[in-house]
Structures are given as structure tokens and as C-alpha cells.
Amino acid sequence: MSTNGKHKLTAMMLVRNEAERYLNTCLSHLNVYTDEIIILDDASTDNTSEVCLTYPKVKLYRNEEPMFIANESLARKKLWQLVEKSNPDWILAIDADEVFEDQIESQIGYIMAGDDYDAVEFRIFDFWKSMTHYRVDGLWNPWNRFSTLLIRYQPGKVYSWPDLPLHCGRIPMEYRSHRIKRFQSNIRVKHFGWADEKDHIKKYAFYKQKDPEGRLQAKNHLESVLDKEVKLEEWTESKSLSF
């Protein structure tokens, strides 16, 4: 029996050295409303694996050598194959620094009960140098973009990933086509990846080194990480529904 009655929800996550960041917050939320959390630990050198294993729904797999840095596409494929084995009805593709608004807990079962769509999109809010404000200028504006994070798994279909070293996306190509029926949800996702200023230079340097010409991501978006002046909005949590 799944947490939400009818549909088995499997979360999938690729992690590396997340123990000191937002992993606990993320997993304690997921533990409430998912049925299984498949994690591929990409050769962490901290105690990420130990943290993961404190959550009963986690099924942990480990790379002995880092795979994501060398070839993101391969790492995504490996995680996907592990998720397919868990026989899910729906798959939630989430990162270790992302947390849904609490209302997901009461509503996810109803979202998965829908027949009219196979992919669900959400707005992701990038918290900026704080846990209270998110960034809204330029390409950071969370209100005008949706990301597909929840997909209906269809056994027997062939799934593929773009052969890119970086930014190859967290869901298979087949879910990005025009033909996939989508639902855009009002439930929002908080992304804490930029919440700690200390991470900024490190992340910037990583992407800059992987993609110096800006071929895989708009170059001005990467450069905007270093902007001195940014526009922020204060986060207000939406109330949960009692039905």
C-alpha cells in the first residue's frame, strides 16, 4: 500500500557531499509523502550515505568513483535504471537542496490520481544568500518558468537522455516532447542551492570550467551569479488545504 492510497511514488536523487547542506531537510519532507526514495550517492567523501540511511524509505546505491562530474548523462541513466526497478507509478525527480511547500503532503495523492496528464510541472524558487528571500531578476524569475519534476512511469517504454556532459536534465527526453500531456501545479518548490553565499564562487567555477563557452546554458545566466545588484522577493508560504 502506498502512502497516498493508490499510486506508488518514488523519488529519485543524485547526491554528492550533501550531508552539511540541506539533505536532512529535503529527506525529512520526502519521507512524509513518498513511498520510496532512490538515491545514487556519487562517491561522497563526507557522511552523506549515513545521513541518507537514517530515513527508512531510502534505498541507497553508491558509486565508488565520481561519475556525475565526468559524464552527467551516464550518471542520470544509471539512476533511472535503479528507479525503474522500484516499479513506481509516478517518479519525482528532485535535488538534495529542494523542498516542496508543505501543501504537497495533502495534495500529491490527488495530483497522481489524474488521468489527463503524464507530467507535472512546478515553479522553482532560487533562494538567494538567505533562507527568506528568492531571486527574481532576469532569468532567475521563478514566476515565468515551470520545470517538469513529477512524471508518470510507463513500463515497457524506451527512455533516453541527451548525450551531454552537463545540464542534460533530470528527466528522460521522452517527457520533454510537445506530445506529453502536462499539468502545471500552483504548488511551489524552494531551491536552497544558492541560499549560502559561500557556495556561489564554488558553483560558478564548476560550471565555468565545464562549459567555458556557455554552450549548454545561457552564458549571461552563469555570469549573473556574480551580479552585485540583484532583485529579491520575500518568500511567503502558501497555506495547506484541509481537503
Residues at the contact surface with another protein, assessed by CB under 8 A: 110-111, 113-117, 121, 143-146, 178-179, 182-184, 186-187, 236-239, 241-243
Whole-number minimum distance, CB 234 to another protein, in Å?
A: 9
123 — phi, psi (to 5°)?
Answer: -90, 130
Provide Rg for the chain, Cα atoms: 18
- Helix (H), strand (E) at residue 63: strand 58-63
Residues 237/135, Cβ–Cβ less than 8 Å: no
Whole-number minimum distance, CB 232 to another protein, in Å?
A: 14
Nearer CB in complex with another protein: 187/216: 187
Nearer CB in complex with another protein: 145/215: 145
Amino acid identity, position 151: I
Whole-number minimum distance, CB 143 to another protein, in Å?
A: 4
Q: What is the DSSP string of 212-237?
A: TT-SSS-HHHHHGGG-SS--EEE--P
Nearer CB in complex with another protein: 176/203: 176
Nearer CB in complex with another protein: 89/196: 89
Nearer CB in complex with another protein: 87/186: 186
Whole-number minimum distance, CB 231 to another protein, in Å?
A: 13
Whole-number minimum distance, CB 6 to another protein, in Å?
A: 14
Residue 190 to residue 134: CA distance in whole angstroms: 9
Query: How many helices (H) and strands (E) are present in the chain, helices listed first?
Result: 6, 10
